[in-house]
Chain A
Amino acid sequence: MEGKAILSVQDAGFSYPGRTALESIRFEVGSGETFALLGPNGSGKTTLFRILATLLPVQKGHIRIGECCLVNDPAGVRSQIGVVFQAPSLDKKLKVIENLRYQGMLYGLSGRELADRVSRALERLRISDRAQDPVERLSGGLQRRVEIAKSLLHKPRLLILDEPSTGLDPRARRELWETLAELNRSEGMTLLVTTHLMEEADLCGRVMILDRGRIVALDTPGALRRNVSSEVITLRGDDLEGLNAEIRTKLSLTGQVRAGTLRVETRPGAEDRLIRQDLQRILETFGSRVHSVTLSRATLEDVFMKMTGRSFESGEGAE
């Protein structure tokens, strides 16, 4: 964790009727950090997002944001957080500037101060030239920028984003992350992002992986990957389950079958020479049954599989 904790979650739990969504989770986010909440559907990340955004009550435990306690002072918390929703909270019938103006008014802003903050937010997100356009005429990427501009008007200390790149094309997604990185770098804005995309979590300073309402890992993306192995051998071919069993017996390497591929972990911390040796042994022993082989860096998905014994896509349950 970088700076002083801006968010502190102590033993927070939440249950829906007949189902536990979060089980006594505990973590802190430092000022100026970029923090990812990564998990499949049903992992509890949306429940956690809704609690932090003050949309669900804290049923168990303590949560502090800045100096405010979420249980005793939700209004205080609301003035310290900026929230970017997965489904945009923009009024599409209104112009960009009208959306921003009304948002500022919700935080008690008026007159000159409101006008200044709106124009500064438009500049920061590079959308000043679209201020007079109705939101419904903007692309998904631009709408997302308006949404972020809106959430910054009251100068929050923590920006919480729920799956911010949902529905964006790859280019808009890249631009969104450039914008977020810029906000974090130039203004020290603390970002907490929920995502189910490994590549997005990889862009954050720290990643917390949630599964079935529990924290299964919390560290920097690099450190999490090092716990698994540095490289992964991905095989395609026939009878992958059988192949996996044989590789385990004959070569003492562990693997998992997922989505038509067999992912075999190399030995953690192994030198390149040893990894290539493993690769060569696989090809020599099972070459005839393998259609293709790829050697790649371990991903956070491999971390998830290692920690939970399940693939990321097999997450179940509604959040």
Chain B
Amino acid sequence: MSPTPQKTFFWQPLLALWLREMLRFVRQRNRVVGAFATPVVFWIFIGSGVGTSFNPGFGPEGASYLQYFFPGTLVMIVLFTAIFSTISVIEDRREGFLQGVLVAPVSPLALAGGKILGGATLAVGQALLFLALAPLAGFKFGLLSFAVILIVLCLLGVALTALGLLIAWPMDSTMGFHAIMNLFLLPLWFLSGALFPVEGASPWIRWIVQINPLYYGLCLMRVALNPGGDYYRVLPDPRWCFVVTVVFAAVLSAGCAWLIQRRRQA
């Protein structure tokens, strides 16, 4: 018997899943505390604590740690939002709304896409709120820089939400997710050049940072935040950074669609 052509829906389910993420966020305002307020508090305390005693060895003369730590905080906001919006998948899939999605004729691409775009939108929205504080931290940049930062935030939002979804989808309990968050996701951020410049680090740390795709997105934002700075001297070529960030987002998104297709019936 030849297989009957399958009829699945894409755009409407994608829109439904995205809208649902937005509405849920609006109705659960405490999520802002975890994903936005916590990184901001870290930025203020760690940034002010280290102050000007920190010298990255590049960038504007007299730059403070508040400035160095700023793009890292942007990435932290994106990472935390991605974690919060994907950890819910674990229970939602077995005892919640996602059960209904799995038994509907929804394309796996729409399922992955709706969830990833929803998480990425929230992540970028909150990161932009923080970006509004950039002038207070002493940054001066134009529209082009803003466009670069926005594009990088979108790519990192997609990549990190997809990464969260890849981890959460096969899991049975949120306990496992917390373990991976502590052992993998947070180190991914620590070792991206967010907290300290890679140039002065031990060779093995430098090696890890250089294979960390987050490092390249972070470098792009560092350059965009400080137009005219001497970053080209030490940071990788921005074109290369852009390619790595695009590939990072694309590979993880495709991985999600593949995993959902493969493990829909499990």
Physical interaction between A and B: yes
Interface check A131, CB cutoff 8 A: no
Tell me which of B2-10, B142-150, B214-222 binds A.
B2-10
Is A102 a contact partner of B24 (Cβ separation < 8 A)? no
Instruction: Count residues on chain B whose CB falls below 8 Å from chain A CBs.
Output: 33
Is A72 a contact partner of B3 (Cβ separation < 8 A)? yes
Interface check A239, CB cutoff 8 A: no
Chain A 48-92 interface residues, beta-carbon cutoff 8 Å to B: 53-57, 68-69, 72-76, 78-79, 81, 83, 85, 87-91
Tell me which of B37-45, B89-97, B116-124, B125-133 binds A.
B89-97
- Looking at the complex, which one of B27, B101, B102 makes contact with A93 (CB distance below 8 Å)? B27
Is A106 a contact partner of B96 (Cβ separation < 8 A)? no
Contact with A along B156-198 (1 / 0, CB 8 A): 0000000000000000000000000000000000000000000
Is B9 a contact partner of A107 (Cβ separation < 8 A)? yes
Contact with A along B228-266 (1 / 0, CB 8 A): 000000000000000000000000000000000000011
Interface check B15, CB cutoff 8 A: yes
Give every chain B residue within 8 A of A157 (Cβ-Cβ).
none
User: Range of interface residues on chain A?
Assistant: 35 or more
Knowing A56-B265, A75-B8 are in contact, say whether A93-B24 is a contact too (CB < 8 A): yes
Interface check B99, CB cutoff 8 A: yes
- Distance (whole angstroms) from the CB of B5 to the closest CB of chain A: 8
Contact with A along B104-117 (1 / 0, CB 8 A): 11100000000000
The answer for the CA separation of A36 and B258 in the assembled complex, in Å, is: 36
Contact with B along A97-114 (1 / 0, CB 8 A): 011011101111110000
Knowing A87-B95, A106-B101 are in contact, say whether A73-B6 is a contact too (CB < 8 A): yes
- Distance (whole angstroms) from the CB of A146 to the closest CB of chain B: 12
Give every chain A residue within 8 A of B265 (Cβ-Cβ).
54-57, 74
The answer for the CA separation of A102 and B105 in the assembled complex, in Å, is: 13
The answer for the CA separation of A175 and B207 in the assembled complex, in Å, is: 65
Is B105 a contact partner of A55 (Cβ separation < 8 A)? no
- Distance (whole angstroms) from the CB of A236 to the closest CB of chain B: 40
The answer for the CA separation of A53 and B9 in the assembled complex, in Å, is: 18
Is A83 a contact partner of B103 (Cβ separation < 8 A)? yes
Give every chain A residue within 8 A of B104 (Cβ-Cβ).
78, 103, 106-107, 154
5 smallest A-B Cβ distances: which pairs?
A105-B16, A87-B95, A89-B100, A75-B6, A108-B9
A–B pairs, 8, beta carbons within 8 Å: A55-B99, A55-B103, A57-B265, A69-B1, A73-B3, A78-B103, A79-B7, A108-B105
